[in-house]
A and B are shown apart, each in its own frame.
Chain A
Amino acid sequence: MTVPRWLDERLALERFRAKYLGKPFPVHSTFFLGEIALFCFVILVATGLYLALFYEPSAQLLQGHGAVPAAYASTLLIDSHPFGALMRRIHHWTAHLMIAAVVLHLLRIYFTASYRKPREVNWLLGLGLLGATLAASFAGYLLPFDQFSVTATAIGYGIARSVPWVGSTLADLVFAGQFPSSATVPRFFAYHVVWAPLALAGLIAGHLVIVLKQKHTEMRRAGAQPEAAEGAYIHGIPLWPEQVALMGVLFLVMLGVLAALAAFLPVHPSAFYGPPQPVTPEVKPDWYLLWVYGALRLIPGGLSFKLFGATIGSEVFGAMLVPGILSLVIVLVPWLDRGPSSLFYTEPPMASPLRLALGLATITLFLALSLAGFGAELGLSVPVLWVITVVAPVAVGWAAHALARGRLGPLGGAPG
């Protein structure tokens, strides 16, 4: 592509084109996970802008409409528009896909040790993105203000309240007072359509600028130059036109898949759940929070102690200590891993048996806790679930370690 002379004389675009449009992009299917997350954000903004045209952020009861809250009524109104229900469902399905893509992206970075120096900052920004995505989703969940939404938010409120020492103040600050009450919906609307998207946009921008500056890692090929070799260069396809073409195809495929999901699988049918009621339905959280739910069910009520005047009870263990410790360890990964850093190359997942084992064990722990969320349905008692939760991660980690070492020799350091 060449920049027209007229434009170039005025904006000096040729320099920009030469510097950035030829950027090499190493190709691997897992390198698209971050891009999928980015496109999800774009689709969420687009569909969200449409929803915001009709949505009414108010829990006020409407007179003469069976006294349902305005927010709920406006959600049903959106559903009744031509394409309105489709828009809502695409928005909801895309939120699921975005969380899944961010999580898988994180796993890709982890298992290829791409978080090592100098990329620790982007590891942290990435985790910030995961947190902001979950927060956006949590706030969005309340908005339709049906029975299901209100139950989910009420549990979040309960968890905030149970924080030792500062719980009730914290819950009041975040939920704008007691929940359920009428002040929470406008507050969550502001979080959802202003604060969270701004935070996400800022974090995404920082994340991408850093990738641009630090360059992408690539798979080490046979006969690749050692790290510091003069004139080492990245193997990949140029941004324009090859990478842009791939991105365009990916975006359109995603849009097609999401539209098909939305058309055939009615996610979050508000009319079916009905307006909020004082009773709590038999519900489970979405897949990405099942592990917290499982942990809450596993920890018995008797487990509690007093500390500086606060009671550290089962809900603190289940909803704060377990997720808190897991999150802290994940944040610290780049500093816990003392392996040699690589500026250019990803490391094969099997190259470090310990990293592989810990990663798979952690995934298994998340899955086992999620399984505990289905204990009652599966007829598994709490003690049995405890055994699974402890034994499965250890077994998986040990097996992975043994396999990786067996394949790679006792030192496990040879490239795979």
Chain B
Amino acid sequence: MDRRRFANWSLKAGIVAAIAALLPGVVTLRGRSRTSATRGVEPGDRLVFALGGNAGEVITEGSFTQNEAVLAYPEGKSDNHENLAMVCKLDPARVQPPTDMAGTAHGIVAYSAICTHLGCTVRFSEEPMEQAPFPHIHCPCHGAMFDPQHGSTVLGGPAPRPLPQLPIKLNAKGEVIVAGPFSAPIGVKA
């Protein structure tokens, strides 16, 4: 190999090696938060109010009336946004499959509050609408609508799949307790 070709070749090899050496560094962009790792929901967690004057207080069966819903976190885990749930109290007779019936109690059903479209926080409304003449969940961002009486199936709008259900039960004091993991991945799924 003559000198010119050798110089040319080693320059190219050097450039490729330098770029290859940088690639693993890209992975560090993923970032890590300084606070302790956030935790997901676990069976046995008590659900507490996420908002308002009573934020942090445990939600009980008597905390809300029928056709009402509250936003909740598992106790002590409000730093993980993916834990945000919407606890709805519905007419027990009208809660039907595909809802996981074993994960409901006295008409109380909980779903992830994070829209499966692009991740906004959904809202509960008992105002009857054309598409949903019954209490329903809707998203303020692009208008997705879900049916909480039927496993939050999609009634309309751009959401690709139902809100994952969070199975709950009531303990002896009437507190709302997590009975199992969310039924599907939270929020936007690639």
Contact = CB atoms under 8 A, between A and B. Distances in A.
A177 B27 CA distance: 11
A46 to B, nearest CB: 30
26 contacts: A154-B119, A155-B120, A155-B141, A158-B118, A158-B120, A161-B119, A161-B187, A161-B188, A161-B190, A162-B188, A164-B190, A176-B29, A176-B30, A177-B30, A178-B82, A182-B33, A279-B51, A279-B121, A279-B123, A282-B140, A297-B142, A299-B158, A300-B158, A301-B156, A301-B159, A302-B154
Contact of B142 (A169, A178, A296): A296
Interface string B112-132: 010001111111000000000
Interface residues of A, number: 49
Contacts of B82: 178
A279 B138 CA distance: 12
Interface stretch (A2-10, A247-255, A307-315, A351-359): A307-315
B87 interface: no
Contacts of A176: 29-31
Contacts of A345: none
B35 interface: yes
Interface string B90-130: 00000000000000000000000100011111110000000
Interface string A368-393: 00000000100000000000000000
B13 to A, nearest CB: 28
Interface in A252-283: 277-283
Nearest to A155: B118
A277 B51 contact: yes
Contacts of A311: 160, 189-190
A104 interface: no
A151 B121 CA distance: 9
Interface residues of B, number: 40
Contacts of B142: 293, 296-297
B143 interface: yes
B141 A180 contact: no
B30 A314 contact: no
Interface in B4-41: 26, 29-35, 38
Nearest to A181: B33
Contact of B31 (A159, A183, A293): A183
B157 interface: yes
Contacts of A157: 119
A304 interface: yes
A325 interface: no
B84 interface: yes
Contact of B51 (A162, A165, A177, A278): A278
Given A154-B119, A161-B187, A177-B30, A280 B141 contact: yes
Given A161-B188, A168-B190, A278-B71, A314 B143 contact: no
A128 B85 CA distance: 41
Given A283-B140, A300-B156, A310-B190, 9 more contacts: A151-B120, A161-B119, A181-B33, A181-B38, A301-B117, A314-B158, A314-B159, A315-B118, A315-B188
Nearest to B30: A172
A123 B156 CA distance: 41
Contact of B118 (A162, A187, A304): A162
A180 B49 CA distance: 19
Given A176-B29, A177-B33, A315-B160, A301 B190 contact: no
Nearest to B71: A278
Contacts of A279: 51, 71, 121, 123
Interface string A128-172: 000000000000000000000001001101110111111111001
A159 to B, nearest CB: 6
Given A162-B118, A280-B141, A182 B35 contact: yes
A164, A180, A277, A279, most chain B CB atoms within 10 A: A279
A277 to B, nearest CB: 7
B166 interface: no
Contacts of A181: 33, 38, 81
Contacts of A283: 140
